Structure 1
């Protein structure tokens, strides 16, 4: 069987982005949680919050390192595998990536060292400020990357001369039609991912009986976040879906497995899309529900895939990825509410009576990863065959590499990423099984905190 270099290049980029996105998804949300721990400790002097920070900052550092390293590989691929993209759209993509370096990386690099290693060397106030600035930096990074990705989905503020994109309005480029929805959807997803991570590992510690007072406070923090943010994510997702229906109707048609344009379109809960036959086999449908969800009208019109002959995305991956994302989201709502009901209503000493909750939270530790990956597959596969939606095809920007070269590097990437992912999870397991230490503060950190109180 002859391998297609174009498909191999896409698979290689997909492998890189799938691995890379796991770690920024954790660090963006986790850094804000760490800031919350620092604020609680600063305001109360409660050593449990200090211990929670000391434990989770290790996981943040490990996640941050893997995110940075895998991000460098991503940037190299623009030159090695997709040089046509930078040749055609570099006037827009280059500055946006540069803004990320100037605002996010410089901010993170300036204060990350203080956040990770300065707790015993600077005052508590300075350490709190450093943590806040790193959290702001991670969010700036997401801002610029999502601005570029959103522009590729819904391009605006440009002109094209001799096939090359030029900027006419940076405001329209940055704040393109899908950017607000995509940014807040991803930011909320990062916070949810971090919430279930801290709940899952804390529940694991409780099951292994290596928990301490800080463990339960962290678990309650995650439960409170999940209770609020999981329903909020569904609402943001609905707004995002309406925007996608307006600007990328082919993607929505693939998500829903809708082949013919119709009013009062049914919602397909389950089925097997068949692109050759242009139908969904064994479909379980709810009448008119797709129109209600997508247009907020019972008889609203939803365009089918047959309207986009020659420019339809691969249907099955988009169809299934969307259902995985929604399914995990609903599960997050249910488990988050369950956790809050138990953890906030009952005293700590009786929580051991709920092993099923602890097991459920442990099982949901990496649920955010699954939902985010599924969401990104919907976003990226659903954009095909375009790299810049409606204007520039992916096949026009790929490098001319031999299939054997691409296959070799693809296998190398996948092998390395599997090793790193296993090592990362093993490191988390090792940290999670260490018995809780005494809540006494490190002497120097305690001295700085006392000095600040006396100075106040």
Structure 2
């Protein structure tokens, strides 16, 4: 039974902590860039709307940062508690990369965050802007180092395993391993796209409820302008990532495609759209495919330049299981990517038709509801993508070098089950707390009475701090 298996329980615990933790830095890495944009626009134009946008969205940034710290530290502790043999075997490289993430990235972000949050009226606006930039750089540098470490686990380079320990002979070759560049770009654009659709979805909620529609139409338009570039780039980089798997991790590709029969090089193959994989019978019980499409998906051409190996080509102990999970996780990620790009295209067309002007935007209820529905989809795409990346790597922690069963600490299953239940309980509480405080920030809305640095301003006599103030400027000025 799986409850008596330390390996399975340790994998479940790491999956829980990793997938939950990932929800929070996803928004900070992308929203940090958005804050740099709106604060830069304020410094350039001195338009107060941009200043209030920076103040409002930074509240959600702080909330996500706090939950991210609270959930990230316990996750790294597991390398010493549940995965001690792994840490001992690859600590020469993996440990130093995690150290870089903590000292170079997290410390930079944390140190600059205090100035960004509390320095609006205490430091020069340029100094504050530099702090905001450093926060964004620190957040994205964390992504860089984490993806370096994980990419190295996917395609280990720069050394070899000697007597149970990975000895590094070329440190830079290990950092710039074959998966590194595309993996970092894929995750960078994933976090940015997710953050943009979250900001866009929240903005759509305000517009739907006719709460400062002119104010939030500005943030929605900034998001749309950015997504026009980000969404198609992300799809292309996703293709490059799949191409890497095709060339370097054939067992994972076989699981992603639920492929039970090898396709020789020089031939075309159908692309499996939906199927019911049967691991035990080593076949798909049923399947719906697109004829001769697999080559176009992998290489933009009909005939394959390399064979696509089937799962049967690998011994059962050397290939990933849970094929259905890998198969549908991949299709969920891809489907969401195309859905978000489709929403971007429709929204852009509506914008060009003049339907997103201040006078018309509140009438686009179906479009605004679509943006609201799309807000959480990026999170689902990222988590399912990581399921494909890590579950598809099995049975290896370091691909073809170190097995998962040899990486787990020798702990009693009852101990791991206890900590798993504790993590699940605490993380559930954190999730409800984050949803409560996040919804409270959104319901309260931006405080449009805040004094603007360098400008003498007083709150309106008939308003209270934090209360919404109708935008009474001329329509031309609002746009």
TM-score range, shorter chain: over 0.9
Give the counterpart of 1:293 among 286, 292, 297. 297
Distance 2:445 2:134 in 1: 31
Structure 1 residue matching 2:120: 3-state secondary structure: coil
Structure 2 residue matching 1:396: 3-state secondary structure: coil
Change (3 A) 1:245 1:72: same
Structure 1 counterpart of 2:271: 267
**1:331 matched to 2:332:** no
Distance 1:423 1:63 in 2: 11
Structure 1 residue matching 2:276: 3-state secondary structure: strand
**1:164 matched to 2:165:** yes
Distance 1:127 1:442 in 2: 16
Distance 2:409 2:149 in 1: 21
Matching of residues 204-215 of structure 1 within 5 Å: 204-215=205-216
Distance 2:241 2:147 in 1: 14
Give the counterpart of 1:375 among 385, 389, 393. 385
Post-superposition offset of 1:406: 1.4
More displaced, 175-184 or 201-210?
Answer: 201-210
Q: Contact between 1:208 and 1:433, CA under 8 Å: does it hold in 2?
A: no
Give the counterpart of 2:320 among 304, 313, 323. 313
Structure 2 counterpart of 1:451: none
Structure 2 counterpart of 1:123: 124
Higher helix share: 1
TM-score by length of 2: 0.90
TM-align CA RMSD = 1.6
**1:342 matched to 2:350:** yes
Distance 1:18 1:271 in 2: 25
**1:283 matched to 2:284:** no
Q: Contact between 2:154 and 2:398, CA under 8 Å: does it hold in 1?
A: yes
Post-superposition offset of 1:436: 4.9
Change (3 A) 1:194 1:445: farther
Structure 2 residue matching 1:230: 3-state secondary structure: helix
Distance 2:439 2:345 in 1: 26
Post-superposition offset of 1:444: 4.4
Structure 2 counterpart of 1:101: 102
Q: Contact between 1:196 and 1:365, CA under 8 Å: does it hold in 2?
A: yes
**1:387 matched to 2:394:** no
Q: Contact between 1:49 and 1:214, CA under 8 Å: does it hold in 2?
A: no
Structure 2 residue runs without a partner (length 5+): 458-479
Deviation string for 1:236-291 (max 9, x for gaps)?
01111111111111111111111111132210000111011111122001122112
Distance 1:133 1:446 in 2: 25
Q: Contact between 2:186 and 2:238, CA under 8 Å: does it hold in 1?
A: yes
Post-superposition offset of 1:294: 1.6
Matching of residues 25-174 of structure 1 within 5 Å: 25-174=26-175
TM-score by length of 1: 0.95
Structure 1 residue matching 2:319: 3-state secondary structure: coil
Distance 1:13 1:83 in 2: 13
Structure 2 counterpart of 1:220: 221
Change (3 A) 1:443 1:355: closer
Distance 1:53 1:108 in 2: 17
Distance 1:113 1:419 in 2: 26
More displaced, 45-54 or 101-110?
Answer: 101-110
Post-superposition offset of 1:447: 6.0
Structure 1 counterpart of 2:407: 397
